[in-house]
Amino acid sequence: MRRRFYPLISLLLVFVSAGISSAKSEEGHFPTTGEIPDPVAGFNHLWREVMIDITVVGILFALVTILLLITYRRKRAGQEGRPVKLSTAAMFGWAIIPVFIFMADDFYLGAKGWTLWNSYRTPPESSYEIQLESAMWSWKFTYPGGVETYNELKVPVGTPILVRMTSSDTVHSLFIPDFKVKEDSMPGRVTYLWFHPKKVGEHLITCAEYCGMLHSNMSGKVIAMEQGEFDSWLASEQAALTEGGA
Ligand SMILES: [Cu+2]
């Protein structure tokens, strides 16, 4: 095949591969039932790929830069450079092929990010929903029966947790680093995030939006408990609430 078609072929390959990737991502579009996706693994995987990508690209560009600096340095005073003569095909090839190689890589990462984003935005159907109202400076969690906790989000392990949130004053952001989730909570608007605690333990909650003085003190924790332990805790809180209200 004639060399001048190479850029065109690269272009086609880029669009075909991007098409295949995005078609794959469609499968993950509504994972409300069936297997629960794992956004933590997805996040870690994508993070690693981006790090490898920018390291390889960075080293490659640095090497080319060094090579060009040495090759085309001025060897004597008053020396003038002479531009290299390229054929039209070679000129377009040098410009377009590298662009499409890097674009293909970006499309690939973009498609993966899109798939991951879909699983972040689509809580599993089996999620247990907890309401959150953030305020300066507290996180108020409300469970389905009306039980409330401040700054402690107690959850059962093995169940996806959906936190639906708003704010009573200014913009806050619920950030749970261990679960790789973060979402702004703001007055007059309802937002959400979901995560899937799998092991018993505690995880830091912190506010990731500067919300005023003492913002940095706005922290809390997720306490992941065995289902049975969680049920009895919730039942006793519920009983106390009913008694108090009676
Ligand atoms: Cu805040």
| Per-residue confidence (pLDDT) for residue 25, from 0 to 100 | 43
Range of the domain at 181: 128-245
Give yes or no: residues 91 and 116 share one domain.
Answer: yes
Give yes or no: residues 156 and 215 share one domain.
Answer: yes
Tell me how far apart the alpha carbons of residues 38 and 66 are, in angstroms, rounded to a whole number: 42
| Per-residue confidence (pLDDT) for residue 220, from 0 to 100 | 96
Q: What is the pTM of this model?
A: 0.76
| Per-residue confidence (pLDDT) for residue 161, from 0 to 100 | 97
Number of domains in the chain: 2
Decide if 223 is inside a domain: yes
Residues whose CB falls within 8 Å of the CB of residue 191, separated by 6 or more in sequence, listed in order: 164, 165, 166, 183, 184, 185
How far does the centroid of ligand 1 lie from the alpha carbon of residue 171, in Å?
7
How far does the centroid of ligand 1 lie from the alpha carbon of residue 168, in Å?
11
| Per-residue confidence (pLDDT) for residue 26, from 0 to 100 | 43
Give yes or no: residues 32 and 116 share one domain.
Answer: yes
How far does the centroid of ligand 1 lie from the alpha carbon of residue 133, in Å?
11
How far does the centroid of ligand 1 lie from the alpha carbon of residue 169, in Å?
10
How far does the centroid of ligand 1 lie from the alpha carbon of residue 111, in Å?
32
Decide if 43 is inside a domain: yes
How far does the centroid of ligand 1 lie from the alpha carbon of residue 83, in Å?
58
| Per-residue confidence (pLDDT) for residue 84, from 0 to 100 | 81
Q: Tell me the residue type at 188.
A: G
Using CA atoms in the order 109, 111, 113, 117, what is the torsion angle rounded to 10 degrees? 180
How far does the centroid of ligand 1 lie from the alpha carbon of residue 120, in Å?
22
Give yes or no: residues 37 and 114 share one domain.
Answer: yes
CATH code, domain carrying 207:
2.60.40.420
Decide if 214 is inside a domain: yes
Decide if 40 is inside a domain: yes
Give yes or no: residues 142 and 169 share one domain.
Answer: yes
Give yes or no: residues 115 and 168 share one domain.
Answer: no
8, 50, 109 from 22: Cα distances, Å: 21, 18, 11
How far does the centroid of ligand 1 lie from the alpha carbon of residue 186, in Å?
10
Decide if 80 is inside a domain: no
How far does the centroid of ligand 1 lie from the alpha carbon of residue 21, in Å?
38
Decide if 162 is inside a domain: yes
| Per-residue confidence (pLDDT) for residue 102, from 0 to 100 | 83
How far does the centroid of ligand 1 lie from the alpha carbon of residue 51, in Å?
30
Coil, helix or strand at residue 197: coil
Decide if 45 is inside a domain: yes
Give yes or no: residues 33 and 117 share one domain.
Answer: yes
Residues of the chain with pLDDT under 50: 22-31
How far does the centroid of ligand 1 lie from the alpha carbon of residue 167, in Å?
9
How far does the centroid of ligand 1 lie from the alpha carbon of residue 209, in Å?
6
| Per-residue confidence (pLDDT) for residue 14, from 0 to 100 | 65
